[in-house]
Structure 1
Amino acid sequence: MMVAIPLTVMSLAMTGCATTGGANGVSEANPDDPWEGFNRRVFAFNDVLDRYALKPAAQGYRYITPDPLQKGISNFFDNLGEVRTAFNSLLQGKPKNAGLASTRFLMNTTFGLGGLLDPATHAGFIADKEDFGQTLAVWGVGEGPYLVLPFYGPATVRSTAGLPVDWATYPLTYVEDDTVRYSLRGLEILDARASLLDQEDLIRGDRYSFIRDAWLQRRRFEVNDGDTGEDTFINDDFDYDEDAFSE
């Protein structure tokens, strides 16, 4: 099983603003989070694990690892993810994205030293990342309540249901040597956590609410392929009082 990173959502939280609750930082009831009491307890467990184990290890990793090598390691694991993207793109009826992901994987693996380099991006081959949770959404499965998983972090019922397929479509799952597989898993976790160290100060208000709202916002953005809905300012549905703007 793939172990994910507590607070990996921080990277998503930094991509946009999120609602963080009331005026005093007190979280208001969120209809997307009916299990908030349970989720907050799991969040607190993950946070302690991160604060006293994962974060210090990530700081040490970043201190001793040169920036070019860190970039290469990130590229390597991103490249492995192209297999999952290609698979799910086909299931979602997106052959173009599947082709782009396959091209990226083949080009970076062949000409990018096994994925350490990213010549595909420089050549203009960019694919939208897809996972089985997104595939379930395309198939009409509802999102379900927000859920915080131990050791893993933010999720929904739908994205959780997609995890077994995500694990099955990730190449590291099939590395037979346990030592190699677990070592690569550990390196992946450290690299991902190190990439978030500079972003933590951007979290405002109640940490739990901020991360939840930002993760849900970003996840829905991914599921909808970046479609955030119609802009009311560019269609006739936006109603305003023209006289209010006249002198």
Structure 2
Amino acid sequence: MKPLIALRPSPVLIRSLLMACLIVLLAGCTIAKPRTDDPLEHFNRKMEKVNDMFDYALMRPAAIGYQKITTPMMRNGVNNLFDTVRQPVNIANQILQGKPLYAVENLGRMVINLLLGFGGLNDLASALHIPKHDTDFGVTLARWGVPEGDFLMAPFLGPTTMRDITRFGVDSYLFDPINYLQRNHGFKDGQYYIPTAMYMISVRQQYLSAEGFLRTAFDRYAFIRDAYRQQRLNMIYYGNPPAEAVEQLQGMNDKNFDPDQLLQQQQQWEQQHKGKNKPPQSIPAGAAPVSTH
């Protein structure tokens, strides 16, 4: 007799079951409130310096070199291509968030740009006024009430939170076609890592024009942390956060918050550093890129 062949579930079935379980587990929750405390600040400040060294040794030189050998039109095409290819990340999370209309609009963008935009190099969908809705698994958890946890400056990843750091694993493994290609490649010499490397360099290149903001920051670490939290709040509420959430994020409800004292400290810092030439400071890997659309 021939041995029985074990039936193996397909990856599509596994993903569908995982998403269904997440919906069941997360159902009935409300959007988590933002936090302003930073219990890991001591660790985060040290890790920020480590990440900055890594950026100056590798990522920033690569981004500068990429910018020198490419034209703005070429870079815009590469950005459009990666934006189109990674749309399944948005679509899957919008379904999990109960936003089917947003998922359909992003699906429409992907199909139009792939079929009519030269394989995604041309953002024809934006020319047709089809909106884009960026999201990820961290936003999905937030919209279903999962608290963000402590702010974290993750090694080599940049600013994130205990909740948001899950997006690097879940989105990459379940929804990102680039990562799927790497796991199911037919190459032998590491060529399958080229798309990921190009994506990281193209994203880092978009930060170059924004480095001036950090050179004038009163507290560079606090600027990065607060900017990240503001960006995530906007993503969670799709660009329209309620006033109470903004006030809580800004610490307006904190009894110890003194805006006059903060302004005085900033003015003192500016006077101390007035006229001093400071070296350019890098943008952390996890910050939001400057839009190219």
Q: Which residue of the partner structure matches residue 192 of structure 1? A: 203
**2:177 aligned with 1:171:** yes
Match of 2:125 among 120, 123, 132: 120
Cα distance between partner residues in 1 of 2:132 and 2:73: 23
Q: Which residue of the partner structure matches residue 90 of structure 1? A: 95
Cα distance between partner residues in 1 of 2:102 and 2:186: 32
CA RMSD of aligned residues (A): 1.6
SS class of match (2:153): strand
Q: Which has the larger radius of gyration?
A: 2
**Kept after mapping to 2: 8 A contact 1:88/1:130:** yes
**Kept after mapping to 1: 8 A contact 2:86/2:178:** no
Match of 2:68 among 58, 63, 75: 63
Offset at residue 228 of structure 1 (A): 2.8
Identical-residue share of aligned pairs (%): 36
Offset at residue 167 of structure 1 (A): 0.5
Offset at residue 81 of structure 1 (A): 2.3
The answer for unaligned runs of 5 or more in structure 1 is 1-29, 232-247
Offset at residue 52 of structure 1 (A): 2.3
Q: Which residue of the partner structure matches residue 222 of structure 1? A: 235
Q: Which residue of the partner structure matches residue 265 of structure 2? A: none
**Kept after mapping to 2: 8 A contact 1:136/1:158:** yes
Q: Which residue of the partner structure matches residue 76 of structure 1? A: 81
Cα distance between partner residues in 1 of 2:84 and 2:209: 24
The superposition leaves residues 132-174 of structure 1 with CA deviations (integer Å, 9 ceiling, x where unpaired) of: 1111111110111101111110101111123321102111011
Q: Which residue of the partner structure matches residue 51 of structure 1? A: 56
Offset at residue 31 of structure 1 (A): 4.7
**Kept after mapping to 2: 8 A contact 1:143/1:156:** yes
Cα distance between partner residues in 1 of 2:117 and 2:232: 30
Structure 1's consecutive aligned runs of 4 or more residues displaced over 4 angstroms after TM superposition are none
Mapping of residues 140-159 of structure 1, within 5 Å: 140-159=145-164
Cα distance between partner residues in 2 of 1:69 and 1:173: 23
Offset at residue 32 of structure 1 (A): 2.6
The superposition leaves residues 96-148 of structure 1 with CA deviations (integer Å, 9 ceiling, x where unpaired) of: 00000111111111111221111111111112111111111111101111011
**Kept after mapping to 1: 8 A contact 2:137/2:171:** yes
Q: Which residue of the partner structure matches residue 243 of structure 1? A: none
**Kept after mapping to 2: 8 A contact 1:136/1:162:** no
Q: Which residue of the partner structure matches residue 5 of structure 1? A: none
Offset at residue 33 of structure 1 (A): 1.3
Offset at residue 222 of structure 1 (A): 0.9
Q: Which residue of the partner structure matches residue 205 of structure 1? A: 218
Q: Which residue of the partner structure matches residue 180 of structure 1? A: 191
Offset at residue 177 of structure 1 (A): 4.3
